[in-house]
Structure 1
Amino acid sequence: MLRFSPADRAKRLILGFALALPLALAACADPAVEQARLEAEDHKNCVELGFEPNTEAYGNCRLKMKEIRAKENANRSPNIGFGVGIGVSKGF
């Protein structure tokens, strides 16, 4: 059985806290900052592809970028569930 001195336990506690703090702070990232980053990235990509800002083609490019990101997010976090239900329908 391992036994640690009180000083060793204190060092381990401090080290654990120091390692956990950045992870906790990363989880609190501001959604507005992330949205601004994504919009800037989409703008850059569309301009690099040759689309002029404030044109219909540029707007379509930005929409396509959002669609691609939504599909990637859906693929990364599939919605898996189960349940029991009863459906009632008229007509068809």
Structure 2
Amino acid sequence: MDGRFKIANREALIGVALALFNFGWWFFFAYGLGDASPEDYSYVFGFPAWFFYSCIVGFLVMVALVIIVVRWWFVEVPFDEEESS
């Protein structure tokens, strides 16, 4: 098996893990903090707290995580066939 496939599979699993983390983050804050009546919401910068933490902070956390993962865990893989010597 070509080593590039091992790298691609590992990076795909990391991508799936990031997507699951993103959904978990969003679900926890959206349904955890947004479970109350709208009259009882707390607000952060004019947004309901559930929206601020699930959508705005969640987006910023995911951008940071993707940058970290791509910079330090992903490796560059050549796409062309290796020439046999």
Query: Which of the two has greater strand per residue?
Result: 2
Same fold (TM over 0.5): no
TM-score w.r.t. length of structure 1: 0.34
Q: Higher relative contact order at CA 8 Å, sep ≥6: structure 1 or structure 2?
A: 2
TM-score w.r.t. length of structure 2: 0.35
